[in-house]
Amino acid sequence: MSVTNNGVNMDMKFRTLVRHIREAIRSIFRNGWMTFASVGAVTMTLLLVGAFLAMLLNLNQMAENIEEDVAVKVFIDLTADEDQINTLGDEIKDMDKVETVVFSSKDDELENLIESMGSAWKLFEQDNPLNHAYVVRAENPTDTKEIATKIDNFDNVEGVDYGETVTKNLFSLNKYARTIGLVFIVGLVLTAVFLISNTIKLTIMARRKEIGIMKLVGATNGFIRWPFFIEGLLLGVFGSVIPVATILIGYSYLENNVTDQIKLKFIEFLPFNPFAWQLSLIILGSGAFIGVGGSVMSIRKFLKV
């Protein structure tokens, strides 16, 4: 008997779900222009969110590449002998927060200088005036300044260089860009939620008498609310279709046609797979969230029958 009852209950739940979906679809077509406006608003919002999020995440990746390239150049005193140079290297390696320490001879330094500044520096190959150096990288790039300050007080160190002003500005820029981007995205999502909630409000107002009758014959609040939830969900999902397609096509084109033309090593786009697919799922989920969120706002305020 219990198995039969369970089967009947499952059948009733399935029929109820089908009924809710059917009512939601009817409502979408019934409010043609408002539906179009809501889906259009979600589409534009998610296009902006998707484009801005893709840009923000790639800028974040580029910023991390630049941060990882930040290093302390430790110039060794010209009078230091081999034992003193090795001792200095060991002291730096034993420091907290230091990840790598690489020795660069003065010949290596001159070669790098010639490569970056031009062949005119080859004149110094016979009488190299440069210092030996250690290139030190921190485990966390934000600790670079602290490490450089400590090393500057070690014996046999002529000086340190880590691009203090550029490094400081870089870390500040990354912080502000991430914060502003997050605020902008949240603002766009809330705008779309508000627009969808207005569409659901109109649907509720148009069906107010019908809802009242349903309440009188014993319909529960949940039974009444489900079609509106589904309607909002569908509006959000429909509004995410074009943004998802645009992201997949646009990012594929960008990766295939632009990446190879960029010569700067720190400008590196996130790979299409899995990034574009992950971003598409985020946009699709955002569309569903926006739709259901708009429904919840409308029902909570206006479904008082």
Q: Is residue 188 part of a domain?
A: yes
- What's the domain count of the chain? 2
Q: Is residue 199 part of a domain?
A: yes
Residues 296 and 189 in one domain: yes
Residues 142 and 193 in one domain: no
Q: Which of 112, 128, 161 is the last residue of a domain?
A: 161
Closest CA to 200 of 223, 242, 234: 234
Mean of the per-residue pLDDT values of the chain: 76
For residue 57, count CB atoms less than 10 angstroms from its CB and return exposed for 0-12, middle for 13-18, buried for 19 or more. middle
- pLDDT of residue 57 exceeding 70, the answer is yes
Residues 140 and 103 in one domain: yes
Residues 109 and 178 in one domain: no
Residues 136 and 283 in one domain: no
Q: In terms of DSSP H, where are the helices of 207-265?
A: 208-216, 221-257
Which of residues 255 and 118 earns the better pLDDT score? Answer: 255
Q: Is residue 201 part of a domain?
A: yes
pLDDT tens figures, 174-208: 777 777 777 877 887 777 677 666 766 666 666 66
pLDDT tens figures, 134-161: 999 888 887 888 888 899 888 888 888 8
Confidence (pLDDT) at 227 = 80
Residues 130 and 227 in one domain: no
For residue 228, count CB atoms less than 10 angstroms from its CB and return exposed for 0-12, middle for 13-18, buried for 19 or more. buried
pLDDT tens figures, 283-298: 888 888 877 777 777 6
Work out whether the CA dihedral 108, 110, 111, 115 comes out positive or negative.
positive
Confidence (pLDDT) at 1 = 47
CATH of the domain at 104: 3.30.70.3040
Residues 274 and 129 in one domain: no
Confidence (pLDDT) at 265 = 53
Q: Is residue 260 part of a domain?
A: yes
Q: Is residue 3 part of a domain?
A: no
Per-residue HEC secondary structure of 78-104 comes to CCCCHHHHHHHHHHHHCCCCEEEEEEE
Residues 157 and 89 in one domain: yes
Q: Give the SS3 label for residue 192.
A: helix
Q: Is residue 7 part of a domain?
A: no
pLDDT tens figures, 15-44: 777 777 777 777 777 767 777 777 777 788
Confidence (pLDDT) at 51 = 82
The domain in which residue 132 lies consists of 71-161
How far is the first Cα of the chain from the last one, in angstroms, to the nearest whole number? 38
Residues 202 and 103 in one domain: no
Q: Which of 161, 185, 211 is the last residue of a domain?
A: 161
- How far, in Å, CA of 93 to CA of 142, rounded? 18
Going by C-beta distance under 8 Å and a sequence separation of 6 or more, which residues neighbour residue 126? Answer: none
Phi, psi for 94 (deg, rounded to 5): -80, -5
Mean pLDDT confidence for 7-11 = 63
Residues 181 and 292 in one domain: yes
| pTM for this prediction | 0.60
Q: Is residue 2 part of a domain?
A: no
Q: Give the SS3 label for residue 133.
A: strand
Q: Which of 161, 189, 218 is the last residue of a domain?
A: 161
